[in-house]
C-alpha cells in the first residue's frame, strides 16, 4: 500500500520543531544570540537564493556597513536605472525619516 500524496510531507512537518519549540530550546540554551552576520555572510549559507543574492548585492553597493543604517540607504536608493531597484530589500524604509546617524543631526 503506497503512501498518499503529501503523507511524507505531513509526517516530516509533524516531526519538525515549531517556532515555539525552537524559541523554547533557544531560551533553555541560555538565550544568547549568535554574532550578527551581514548579508554577504548569510548568502554563503544559501548561495542559490535570489533574495539573499539581491540583498547581498545592495548591501555591497551602499558600501556594506562602512556607514550606519545600510538598510535605510538601500530602501531609499534612488538609482531607478539599476536592474535590482524594483526588487531591492528594505523598501518599507521609503519615505521614513533618515536615522539620525545618516543625517548627522542635520
Contact residues: ligand SF4, CB under 6 A = 57-58, 61-62, 74, 77, 79, 82, 84-85, 88
User: Measured from the CB of residue 77, what is the shortest distance to ligand SF4 in angstroms?
Assistant: 3
Please give the distance of CA 66 from its chain centroid, rounded to a whole number: 19
What's the CA gap between 57 and 44, in Å, rounded?
13
User: Measured from the CB of residue 19, what is the shortest distance to ligand SF4 in angstroms?
Assistant: 30
Please identify, using beta-carbon distances, which residue of 10 and 79 lies nearer to ligand SF4: 79
What's the CA gap between 81 and 66, in Å, rounded?
24
Amino acid at each position: 500500500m503506497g503512501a498518499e500524496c503529501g503523507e511524507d510531507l505531513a509526517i516530516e512537518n509533524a516531526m519538525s520543531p515549531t517556532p515555539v519549540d525552537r524559541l523554547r530550546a533557544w531560551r533553555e540554551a541560555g538565550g544568547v544570540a549568535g554574532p550578527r552576520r551581514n548579508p554577504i555572510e548569510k548568502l554563503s549559507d544559501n548561495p542559490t537564493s535570489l533574495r539573499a543574492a539581491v540583498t547581498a548585492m545592495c548591501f555591497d553597493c551602499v558600501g556594506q556597513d562602512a556607514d550606519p543604517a545600510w538598510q535605510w540607504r538601500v530602501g531609499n536608493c534612488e538609482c531607478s536605472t539599476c536592474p535590482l531597484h524594483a526588487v531591492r530589500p528594505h523598501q518599507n524604509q521609503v519615505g521614513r525619516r533618515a536615522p539620525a546617524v545618516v543625517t548627522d543631526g542635520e
